[in-house]
Amino acid sequence: MSTKPNIVIIQADQLAPQFLAAYGHPLVKSPAIDKLAQEGVVFDAAYTNAPLCAPSRFVMMSGRLPSAIAAWDNAADFSSEIPTFSHYLAAQGYRTCLSGKMHFVGPDQLHGFGERLTTDVYPADYTWHPEWDRPEARLDWFHNMEVVTKAGACTRSMYMDYDDEAVFKAKRFLFDHAREDNDQPFMLTVSMIQPHDPYLCSQAHWDLYRHDDIDLPTVPFQSDAEHPHNARLRHGYGASDFNFDDDTLRNARHAYYGSIMEIDNKVAELRSAIEQAGFADNTIIIFTSDHGDMLGEKGMWFKMSYLEYSARVPLIVHAPAMFSPKRVAKAVSLVDFLPTFAELANDGKEATYATPLEGRSLVPHLSGDGGHDEAIGEYYGEGTDVPMYMIRRGNYKLIYSSKDPLRYFNVIDDPQEVNNLADSPEHQSQITAWLSEIEARFDQAALTERVLESQRRRAFLKTVMRDQGVVWDYQPLEKSSEIYIRNTQPIYELEKKSRFPKV
């Protein structure tokens, strides 16, 4: 067995930590995730750097902030030239494999993964780009409120099917690796789509909860003054057209809670497979998400905001043989994954990188009380037509864009973010210093022009590509001749080879 630790990343989609028992929710059931948390290191202030699926994942994989890699939105091309944690782990001798979603846009659908077991759940083309030239327009491909008004239980859904496939193929990978007596360390990323909207779950998981017990948003719509960015998002996905009653809100949250249990079952399946394959003692399991979900808080849904329910992510690192269970209060973010994995794969020594990184290793947080206390965010997606930034340090978080009122919260004392301290005299020196940092670090005018040029290029190209039939979506090739009985080898040889444990 390799002395280097195996790494298994389990990623949910649009899962806010506030809706997990491990983070204090009194109702939601998630026993497998709870067990990971009890035995692992739980980060209580982990953030996405870009609260949108594709840019969040590009940042997570590259260790770079969005503007450094042009990770503007859900249709931004992720350049093959950008090294990812998969590349660095492969350079350290790892077998790298992806099963499930990673929302890669562009012709490169691997980005350092030596193997990919499934197609993606989302398209790889340029269609889903914002239009800063038309900031008030409702985009025909965008979120809509049908996912809320028609939330509930179902027998099957596309997302259930997808997650079943991703986890089944990931488990097969684990057992195949074990059957091969392969000493090569592996990094397996298993990325699911639930509990992302549409808000649906199986009847069995719906029935885990009494409907009347489902909690309503802690900050109902119009209970505090609406920020312009909130209003633009609500308009963009149609929430401003509705006045949701309590039962509709409960339906969506009820289904979301049920789908969390479906994710939890998948976590249990994967952990069981890791144990049965004999990898448990030398495998680090990371559980996280790409961003959260407002789920009706302040009348908002989905992500695209630096408010806590949208921007925070669960982050649990399970490796009891390496790191004692504890909770980490310091702010960290997904951009920190690459240097963390590279250091873990390099016998705990800092790795050498081909480019500068904005991410910083989490190993000091895991192994002691050291490490940074900072999360930096950049957002270039829907709901704005200028760059938006976040700084989280210590107890405080600042959210800034040049066109909107400043927001500054003490998120420890005010986790629901109802008390904006932006005009508080006692905080002005720190606010001024943080705004100066943003001005010095980001050329906002130049970035705005870069984003607009990219959007206009893609608006042109997507139509031409569609007419030409150009498709970048990944099509996995399954070699059935090597899996099941064929006349290329004696039947008993294949049967013997596929048995595990060996006899």
DSSP state letters, 182-223? --S-EEEEEE--TTSSS-EEEHHHHTTS-GGGSPPPSS-TTS
Residue 396 in domain: no
The answer to whether residue 16 sits within a structural domain is yes
In a domain, 49, yes or no: yes
Q: What is the C-alpha separation between 65 and 74, in angstroms, rounded?
A: 15
Which is catalytic among the residues 103, 143, 196, 229? 103
- pLDDT value at residue 487: 80
Residue 165 near residue 112, CB atoms below 8 Å: no
Is 229 known to be catalytic? no
Beta strand 388-393 with 95-100: parallel, antiparallel or unpaired? Answer: unpaired
Assigned domain for 257 exists: yes
CA-CA distance, 434 to 400, in Å (whole number)? Answer: 10
Q: What is the structure's pLDDT at 165?
A: 97
Give φ, ψ of 302 to 5 degrees. 65, -135
Question: What is the domain-level CATH number for residue 32?
Answer: 3.40.720.10
Residue 242 located in a structural domain: yes
pTM of the model: 0.96
- Please list the ranges in the chain whose pLDDT falls under 50: 1
Residue 488, pLDDT score: 78
CA-CA distances (angstroms) from residue 414 to 56, 260, 307, 323?
Answer: 25, 26, 12, 31
Tell me if 248 is assigned to some domain: yes
Structural domain range at position 188 = 6-369
Active-site residue flag, 97: no
Q: Pick the catalytic residue: 53, 97, 143, 365?
A: 53
All residues at 6 or more sequence positions from 501 whose CB lies less than 8 Å from its CB, including other chains? none
Q: How many helices (H) and strands (E) does the chain have?
A: 15, 16
> Residue 221 falls within a domain, yes or no?
yes
Measured distance between the N- and C-terminal CA atoms of the chain, rounded to whole angstroms: 19
pLDDT of residue 2: 61
pLDDT of amino acid 482: 77
Please report whether residue 497 resides in a domain. Answer: no
What is the reported pLDDT for 383?
94
d(CA 424, CA 401): 19
Number of domains in the chain: 1
63 burial via Cβ count (<10 Å: 0-12, 13-18, 19+): buried
199, 151 contact by CB (below 8 A): yes
Q: What angle do CA 122, 127, 130 make, to 5 degrees?
A: 110
The DSSP secondary-structure symbol of 358 reads: S
